[in-house]
Amino acid sequence: MKLSLTHKIVLGFILGLALGEYFFLTFSPEESHEWAQRIQVISKIFLRLIKMIVGPLVFCTLVVGIAKLGDFKAVGRIGLKTIGYFYFATILSLVTGLVVVNITQPGSLQSWPKPAAGTSTGIDASKVKTLSDFILHIFPDSFFKALAENEILQIVIFSLFFGVALGSIGETGKKLIHVFENLAEVVFKMVNYVMEVAPYAVFAAMTSVVANKGLSILISYGYLMICFIGGLLFFTVVVLWLICLVNKIPYWSLLKELKEALLISFSTASSEASFPQTIAALERFGCSRRIVGFVLPLGYSFNLDGSMLYMTFATGFIAQAYGVHLSLEQQITMLLTLMITSKGIAGVPRASLVIIAGTLTMFNLPAEGIALLLGVDPFLDMGRTVTSVAGNGVATCVVSKWEGEFNPSTNA
C-alpha cells in the first residue's frame, strides 16, 4: 500500500526521534553534535527549496488576485480588516500567555539553577528594529533584491502596486493576467516536487534536535513544557475555535484540511516550510485565491500567535524563576509593549528570544535568564510554530468570510 505524504511525515518524525535519541545515548556530546550537523543538511536543503518558491508563489497569486479586483479602495478595505484582526488575535494570544504563566507558576514551583551574571546567551536584543526602521523596511528599494532575500512583506507591497496597475490597463492587462495564472500553476507544480522531500527533511530535523538535546531534557523541563503546551492547546482548541464559531467557520474541518501543513510546521519548527501547503489547503477549503495570497503572507509577519503567547509566558517565567514579582500594571505595560515591538520581528533569527531579551532589559530582569529556556527552546518552538500556522489559517478564513469570498462547499 502506497503511503500518503502525511503518513510519510509521521514516519519520518518517529524515526528521527529514535535515531536522534540513539546518537545522544551512544556517542559523546561532540560526536552526537557532529552527526546532528551532518544529518541536518537534508532539512536545510528542504528549507532552501521552500524559500526558493515562496517569493514567486506569493507574487503570482497576489498579482492575479489584485489584478482581477483592480481597485485600490478594495485593497485598502481588505488591508484594514486584516490588520485589525491581526491586532485582535495578538492581544488574545499575549493575554493567554500571561494568564497561563500566572496561574501555573512554572518559575516558582520548580527550583531552577540561576545562570551566572553575564552568561552569554547568543541573543542580541539590539536586533529589534525601531518602529520607523520597520516601516521603512516594508517598502522595497528593489523588487529583485526583495525576491533574492525572500523579504515577503516587500514582495507583497510590490505585488499590490503591480496587480492594481495590471488590472487597470484593459485588454493588455487581461492577457498578462492569464500569463501570471499559468505561472502560478507552474510554481504549484514545483511545490509538489519539493514536498516529496518533506518526510526526509522532517526525519533530519528531528534527528538533529534530539541528538543535540536528548529526550531526557523533556523530563527535567516537564512541568514547564506541560504549562506552555497547555497554553498553546487552550489557544488553539478553545480561542481559535470560538473565533470560528462566531464567524460560522467549520474549525475542525479547517484543521483537518491543514493537517499536512501543521505536521510539517511542527516537525521542522518553521512556518515557512509549510507555506505552500497552507496556501493550497486554504484554497481547497473554500477561501478565494486573492484573499489567501494577500492575508497569509502578511500573517507570517504580523500574526504569529504562538510566538506572541510565548513572549509573555517566557518573560513571566523568568521573572518567577528569579523571584521578581511583576505587578498588574507592569504586566499590562509589558503586554502593550510586546503588541507593538513584536511587529518588527519578521526575518530576525530566533525572533521570539530576541524580543524577550529586550523585554527583560526593559523591566530590569536579568537578560541571562534566557539561558533557562535555551535547552528546551527547540521543542517549545515546534509548539508555537504549529499554533501560528493554525492562527493564520483562521485569519485567512475570517477575512474571506468578512469579504463574502468564503465558500467551503467549492474550491476557490
What string of H, E and C letters represents the secondary structure of 231-274? HHHHHHHHHHHHHHHHCCCCHHHHHHHCHHHHHHHHHHCCCHHH
- Domain assignment present for 409: no
Q: What is the pLDDT of residues 153-164, one digit of tens each?
A: 888 889 888 988
pLDDT of residue 391: 96
Asked if the structure places residue 412 within a domain, the reply is: no
3-state secondary structure of 351: helix
Is 128 within a domain?
yes
Q: Evaluate whether residue 398 is within a structural domain.
A: yes
Q: Is residue 411 part of a domain?
A: no
Q: Read off the CATH number of the domain in which 397 is found.
A: 1.10.3860
Burial class of residue 97 (count of CB atoms within 10 Å of its CB; 0-12, 13-18, 19+) = buried
Q: Which residues contact 330 (CB under 8 A, 6 or more apart)?
A: 363
- pLDDT computed for residue 349 by the predictor: 47
Q: Which three three-digit cell numbers place residue 313?
A: 509566558
How far is C-alpha 258 from the geometric centre of its chain's CA atoms? Answer: 14
- pLDDT band at residue 247 using 50, 70 and 90 as cut-offs: very high
Cα–Cα distance between 316 and 293 in angstroms, integer? 36
Per the structure, the count of domains in the chain is 1
Taking 50 as the threshold, does the pLDDT of residue 321 lie above it?
A: yes
Residue appearing with cell numbers 541571562: 368
**Interval 116-128: pLDDT, tens:** 665 555 555 555 5
Q: What angle do CA 381, 384, 385 make, to 5 degrees?
A: 80
Cell of 218: 523533556
Question: Does residue 409 register a pLDDT over 70?
Answer: no
Residue 355 lies in a domain: yes
Mean pLDDT of the chain: 85
Residue 410 maps to a domain: no
Q: Which of 161, 153, 159 is nearest to 136 (CA)?
A: 153
Which residue would you say has higher pLDDT here, 405 or 345?
405
* Domain boundaries, position 174: 5-403
Angstrom distance (rounded) from CA 179 to CA 410 = 24
What local confidence, expressed as pLDDT, does residue 396 receive? 95
What was the pLDDT predicted at 345? Answer: 57
pLDDT tens-digit readout, 75-88? 788 889 999 999 99
* For residue 347, pLDDT beyond 70: no
What pLDDT shows up at residue 257?
Answer: 94
User: Between residues 394 and 155, which one has the greater pLDDT?
Assistant: 394
CA 283 – CA 313 distance, rounded (Å): 33
293-332 per-residue burial string, b: 16 or more CB within 10 A, e: under 16: bbbbbbbbbbbbbbbbbbbbbbbbbbbbbbebebeeeebe
Q: What secondary structure letter does DSSP report for 348?
A: -
| Cα 114 from chain centre | 30
pTM: 0.84
| pLDDT tier for residue 108 given thresholds of 50, 70 and 90 | confident
Assess if residue 11 is contained within a domain: yes
- pLDDT tens track for 197-243: 989 999 998 899 889 888 887 887 889 999 999 999 999 999 999 99
- The mean pLDDT value for 302-319 works out to 90
